[in-house]
Amino acid sequence: MSGKQTHRRILSGLIALTLLFFSNSIFCNTYDFTVTVVDENGQPMIGVLVFTDDQDKVSDATDIDGKVVLQDMKYNYVINFQYLGYEDMRLEYYQIRNTSGIVRMKVEAVVTEIAVVVGRADDIPENIPYYIQKVDKKDIALTNSQTAADALRDHGGVFVQKSQMGGGSPVVRGFEANKVLLVLDGVRMNNAIYRSGHLQNAITIDNAMLERLEVLYGPGSLIYGSDAIGGVVHFRSKNPKLNFDIDKDLDFSGNGYVRYASANNEKSGHIDFNIGGRRFGSLTSISYSDYGDLRTGSRRGEAFPDFGKRLVYADRIDGEDIIIENDDPNVQIGTGYQQVDILQKFLYQPSDNIRLRYCSTSN
């Protein structure tokens, strides 16, 4: 064999050994590799469990610097990272190598069930031996009810006596007036000594500021006292919100709307704004409504052609009551009215266990 052939074989062998070495480095990666596990802010995480599926190649936890050493890893090995309160991660070894050994874990978002409390003492519904109908603010906003009485009629499952525009007396299972207790944020709006005729207190509540409606069917004397003979209607208004954002001292938020209804020529406007601090919060709400005279439908049956018409109405002129012919009998003269609702709430929380609230309302 010539010298040239010998050199070629030696060179070919060296090239083969070199390729074998690099392929082993790429596909086997049998040397040690240090991984650093950090949180979303880049801080090292101590005690993160790191293991392969079979826990054969690695089963360890990160040290005080958030580091762990991987040994004898191949490029397609899957490594698991687990830590309480953080999302589990499964990464292949080559993915970790591509990030220079930095593994960033994310906080696990845990959605807990909202605890709903009802009644005067904020009991959970399961502990109250009555059927309770709850209506939240989303349902109230969906129907865009003109008044709180309308919202109660549309969602509360009760009959509302409304013989005039300014009416709205709830009837619960045949009980009405002084037999149905109306409560606003735990404060009674009527009691058993009120008259037995219909009461229109429900319409004096600003439905734009309602957080929730609760209708308690049946006698509620056990919770609310002897006045709740036939049932309870509990109106819960919105409360001020505190600021828990560490990046700013005060948080400002607000809502508003304007509304027009052709049936009674309603023109309404509302605005509310919340100022929240660390310990103190303020909620201010102003609503104005101008309801015109109600207009009835113009299509009637042949048997009752004048049903619902207001042919005449009374007015006082020069000290005398005068009967005046109505130019448009479909318009119910005298049913229109105006209403202004003002609500002011303050919240002061000096400690985690003490909350002081003050409420003032006017309409």
39-57: pLDDT as tens digits? 988 999 999 999 988 777 6
Do 319 and 257 share a domain, yes or no? Answer: yes
pLDDT grade for 6, boundaries at 50, 70 and 90: low
Residue 19 domain flag: no
Could you tell me if residue 155 is left (phi over 0), alpha (psi between -120 and 50 degrees) or otherwise beta?
alpha
* Number of compact structural domains in the chain: 3
Q: Note whether 232 and 283 are same-domain residues.
A: no
The verdict on 263 and 220 lying in the same domain is no
Report the amino acid identity of residue 317.
I
What is the distance between the alpha carbons of residues 319 and 335, in angstroms, rounded to a whole number? 22
Is 8 part of any domain? no
The residue segments making up the domain with residue 81 are 31-104
Three-state secondary-structure class, residue 17:
helix
Angle 146-150-151 from CA coordinates, rounded to 5°: 95
**At 193, which CATH number?**
2.170.130.10
Find the CATH number of the domain harbouring 92.
2.60.40.1120
Which token pair is 347? Answer: 């919240």
Q: Which pLDDT score, from 0 to 100, does residue 112 have?
A: 57
Residues 133 and 205 in one domain: yes
Three-state SS at 285: strand
- Say yes or no: 215 and 183 in one domain: yes
| Residue 92 located in a structural domain | yes
**Which pLDDT band holds residue 71 (cuts at 50, 70, 90)?**
confident
pLDDT in tens, 85-134: 899 999 998 889 888 899 999 998 766 555 566 666 666 766 676 778 88
Same domain, 129 and 87: no
Task: Using a pLDDT cut of 90, give the percent of the chain over it.
Answer: 23
Domain end, chosen from 185, 203, 237, is at: 237
pLDDT-based confidence at residue 31 (cuts at 50, 70, 90)? low
- Look at the chain and count its residues: 363
Residue 117 lies in a domain: no
Q: Are residues 227 and 157 in the same domain?
A: yes
Look at residues 91, 70, 77, 81 and name the one whose alpha carbon lies nearest to residue 48: 81
356 within domain boundaries: yes
Work out the pLDDT band at 307, boundaries 50, 70, 90: confident
Name which residue leads in pLDDT, 118 or 333.
333
Q: Note the pTM of the prediction, 2 decimals.
A: 0.63
User: What is the model's pLDDT at position 203?
Assistant: 87
Specify the pLDDT at position 9. Answer: 65
Same domain? 227 vs 198? yes
170: nearest Cα among 185, 190, 186, 187? 190
Cβ neighbours of 246 (radius 10 Å): 7
CA 235, CA 213: separation in Å to the nearest integer? 5
Residue at 16 is within a domain: no
* Residue matched to tokens 């953080």: 86
Q: How far apart are CA 142 and CA 151, in angstroms?
A: 10
Q: Looking at the structure, do residues 211 and 264 belong to the same domain, yes or no?
A: no
Taken in order 149, 151, 152, 154, the sign of the CA dihedral is positive
